[in-house]
Amino acid sequence: MTTIYGRRANLALDRAFRGMRIAATALDAERARIDVITKNIANARTTRVPGSDEPYRREEVAFAPILERAANGRIEFMGVRIDGVLQDDAPFEEVFDPNHPDANDRGVVLYPNVNTMKEMADLVTATRAYEASLTIQENFERMAERALRMAE
């Protein structure tokens, strides 16, 4: 679809809104990261995932830049996107608990490789990045309003 927000349309005003759109991609990406962190924390004690014989494995999002070729042939950064969700290969936590229904024949229960403290720290940085992008958008809006007021 060719809308004013689509990448194909390249009106003069679109260039003016570039900063705003880059911040929007960051907002989107950070929210996805927050979703994954929330999933990790929620499953921090999940000892069995349906369809596998493993406990929950920690996930992490990988970011990648959105690159675009400008009219002059140069590559420009147009924001960030989620490249994929990666699984953490770190070993599971082993707890000796023979009475647990998911204990193996040695009486050991495998717990997810999620460190809640680390997830909380990640959550804080993701939230701050989200807020920073929001502030950028608000500043941009204020700047544009100032510019418009000059015409009055």
Partner 1 sequence: MRVKAEGSEMLLRLMSAATMRGDVLANNIASQSMPGYRRRDVVFEETLRNAIEKGASKRKIEEFQPEIAIDFDREPRADGNNVSPEEERTMLRENRLRYELYAAMLSGRSRLISQAINSTT
- Are the beta carbons of 21 and 78 closer than 8 angstroms? yes
Q: What residues contact residue 3 under an 8 Å CB cut-off, 6+ apart?
A: 9
Q: What is the DSSP string of 88-141?
A: P-SPPEEEE-TTSTT--TTSEEEE-S--HHHHHHHHHHHHHHHHHHHHHHHHHH
**Footprint (CB under 8 A) of partner 1, residues 101-140:** 137
- Are the beta carbons of 65 and 79 closer than 8 angstroms? yes
Counting contacts by CB under 8 A, is residue 141 touching partner 1? yes
Q: How many chain residues interact with partner 1 (CB under 8 A)?
A: 24
Q: Interhelix angle for 116-149 vs 18-42, to 10°?
A: 160
Q: Which is nearer to partner 1, 27 or 110 (CB)?
A: 27
Using CB under 8 A as the criterion, what x/- string covers residues 21-60 for binding partner 1? Answer: x-xx--xx--x-----------------------------
Using CB under 8 A as the criterion, what x/- string covers residues 8-27 for binding partner 1? Answer: -x-x-x---x--xx-xx--x
Q: State both tokens at 52.
A: 């596998």
**Footprint (CB under 8 A) of partner 1, residues 62-81:** none
Q: How far is the CB of 118 from partner 1 (least distance, A)?
A: 26
| Contact residues for partner 1, defined by CB under 8 A | 1-6, 9, 11, 13, 17, 20-21, 23-24, 27-28, 31, 137, 141, 144-145, 148, 151-152
